[in-house]
Amino acid sequence: MNTNTKSTLFALLAVCFWSTVATAFKIALKGMPFYELLFIATWVSVFIFFIILLVKKQLICTLRSSSSAWGRSALMGALNPFLYYLVLLKAYSLLPAYMAQPLNYTWPVVLVFFAALFLKQRLSWLSLIALLVSFAGVVFISNGNSELNSSSTLLGVILASGSSLIWSSYWISNLKDSRETLPKLFLNFLCGALYITVFVLFSGLPPVSSTTSFIAAIYVGFFEMGITFLVWMFALHIAPRADSISIYIFLSPFLSLIFITTILGENITLNAIIGFILIALGIFIAKWKEMATFGNDKSGKNNTGH
pLDDT in tens, 275-294: 888 888 887 777 665 554 44
- Check residue 186 and give its pLDDT: 95
In 3D space, the residue among 80, 51, 74 whose CA is nearest the CA of residue 187 turns out to be 74
8 Å CB contact between 245 and 294: no
Each residue's pLDDT tens digit, 54-99:
999 999 999 999 999 999 999 999 999 999 999 999 999 999 998 8
Is residue 293 helix, strand or coil? helix
Has residue 147 got a pLDDT over 60? no
Assigned domain for 301 exists: no
pLDDT band at 301; cut points 50, 70, 90: very low
pLDDT band at 252; cut points 50, 70, 90: confident
In 3D space, the residue among 27, 46, 51, 47 whose CA is nearest the CA of residue 37 turns out to be 27
Considering the entire predicted model, what is its pTM?
Answer: 0.84
- Check residue 99 and give its pLDDT: 87
Higher model confidence: residue 236 or residue 95? 95
Assigned domain for 134 exists: yes
In 3D space, the residue among 198, 174, 199 whose CA is nearest the CA of residue 188 turns out to be 174
8 Å CB contact between 237 and 303: no
Each residue's pLDDT tens digit, 163-193:
989 988 888 888 788 888 889 999 999 999 9
Higher model confidence: residue 163 or residue 234? 163
Assigned domain for 95 exists: yes
Has residue 1 got a pLDDT over 90? no
Assigned domain for 263 exists: yes
End-to-end CA distance of the chain: 24
Average model confidence (pLDDT) across the chain: 83
- Check residue 306 and give its pLDDT: 40
Each residue's pLDDT tens digit, 110-141:
777 777 777 676 767 777 787 788 788 877 77
- Check residue 226 and give its pLDDT: 85
The Cα–Cα gap between 180 and 46 comes to 16
Query: Which of 11-20, 134-143, 239-248, 263-272 holds the top average pLDDT?
Result: 11-20
- At residue 95's C-alpha, the angle toward residues 102 and 232, to 5°, is 40
Query: Which of 104-108, 197-201, 294-298 holds the top average pLDDT?
Result: 197-201
CB-based burial of residue 66 (10 Å sphere; 0-12 exposed, 13-18 middle, 19+ buried)?
exposed
Assigned domain for 182 exists: yes
- Check residue 149 and give its pLDDT: 58
In 3D space, the residue among 191, 228, 180 whose CA is nearest the CA of residue 79 turns out to be 191
- Check residue 81 and give its pLDDT: 94
**Domain housing 14:** 3-296
Assigned domain for 97 exists: yes
- Check residue 43 and give its pLDDT: 97
pLDDT band at 295; cut points 50, 70, 90: very low
> Per the structure, how many domains does the chain have?
1
Assigned domain for 303 exists: no
- Check residue 73 and give its pLDDT: 96
Assigned domain for 118 exists: yes
